[in-house]
A and B are shown apart, each in its own frame.
Chain A
């Protein structure tokens, strides 16, 4: 992918600097520019300029950009700017996200706490809306919103593997192996998602729709990258994965049924149908063996495990609220319109 379009002064400066050779003196201007952006932001999680900048700085660690030299990944100026932005993101989340306390560092207690936090609720949700009401354009929007993460599904959590040991590590590898198709590239969850995108006439090129998604969607992905890239936050990325898996099976059935309601074929709904079955397995492993196992190995991580789970749920809720509010107003949830080919399956 190429660098996304800038959304304000900080991302414009980052874009300009990253297109130059690494090691240039302009890199040292990035941290002061990031600090300036943080001083003027009203709400970090919906600040387009900050979130697209953080997305760009994290993407250097994922797959990079065609128009950016790969050496920028470890440039000290870029890392200094990223450090300022992610510390602000972490402190914002820690201040806003309610985390259950007094959970003992025992496998069963941690799993129970996670299942309680993620228990199905009857309220409005994107999944319910898609199941009953969404039109074809809204299905397209859903896929566009999800595509910034789902085309690299599982990658941020994989960063945790070398930071874990024993039962927790074995559990994470067991989950991720399934996420990556159990040895079959065409069954990778990211590949199934690409198939669903094609089914609705969308372009499944990695990063194709980044410019279309709002800050809050990028904040959700940036939080995963932040948790995954820092060993210090291995508890948080573990809890994040557990919450993600625990809120997947039941909603994915609704997504699949919603797409079928509008005529999608089995190939297009495969992604959702796969998640109904796979995540009913993963949520048990993630809650008990991974999160619960890690809590027993490293009891001081319990608070971060629960924080990571709560942050996942909080951001999911923010993204969902944004989408439902836009749809109820009869508007698009995207920053810019996306055109899907008409010959899609749904």
Chain B
């Protein structure tokens, strides 16, 4: 490992990204810690997660597709 690795493929892979899907969830990729309002870690079951944006998911903070059933339109 050299100092160059900081900008190499490993560093790039860990860069977090959040994608706002039109009228849908926020897709979160990369090294992001999810915590609840007390700071307790929220179990993350997969590399890429979808966070609820419509407020109606039954598995919050994750998306369960309910935005489609309620016709959610993102602001």
Interface residues of A (CB under 8 A from B): 108, 111, 115, 119-120, 174, 177-178, 182, 248-250, 253, 274, 276-281, 283-285, 288
Q: How big is the B interface, by class? A: 20 to 34
Q: Do B62 and A277 touch across chains, with their CB atoms under 8 A apart? A: yes
Q: Do B24 and A284 touch across chains, with their CB atoms under 8 A apart? A: yes
Contact of A177 among B21, B47, B63 (CB under 8 A): B47
Complex interface: stretch among B2-10, B34-42, B65-73 = B65-73
Given A250-B69, A284-B50, verify A276-B64 contact (CB < 8 Å). yes
Q: Do B66 and A250 touch across chains, with their CB atoms under 8 A apart? A: yes
| CB<8 Å pairs between A and B, sample of 26 | A115-B68, A119-B68, A178-B46, A182-B46, A249-B63, A249-B64, A250-B68, A274-B45, A276-B59, A277-B45, A277-B46, A277-B59, A277-B62, A277-B64, A278-B45, A278-B46, A279-B65, A280-B50, A280-B62, A281-B48, A281-B50, A284-B21, A284-B25, A284-B50, A285-B27, A285-B48
* Residue of A whose beta carbon sits closest to that of B50: A281
Q: Do B45 and A253 touch across chains, with their CB atoms under 8 A apart? A: no
Closest CB in chain B relative to A288 CB, distance in Å: 7
Is B49 part of the contact surface with A, judged by Cβ < 8 Å? yes
Closest CB in chain A relative to B67 CB, distance in Å: 9
A280-B50, A280-B62, A284-B24 given; name 13 further pairs at CB < 8 Å: A248-B65, A250-B68, A276-B64, A276-B65, A277-B50, A277-B64, A278-B45, A278-B46, A280-B63, A281-B27, A283-B65, A284-B27, A284-B50
**Within the assembled complex, what's the spacing in Å between the Cα atoms of A279 and B25?**
12
**Within the assembled complex, what's the spacing in Å between the Cα atoms of A283 and B63?**
11
In the complex, the 7 A-B pairs of residues with the closest C-beta atoms, listed nearest first: A249-B65, A280-B63, A281-B50, A280-B65, A284-B21, A120-B69, A280-B50
Closest CB in chain B relative to A107 CB, distance in Å: 10
Q: Do A182 and B47 touch across chains, with their CB atoms under 8 A apart? A: yes
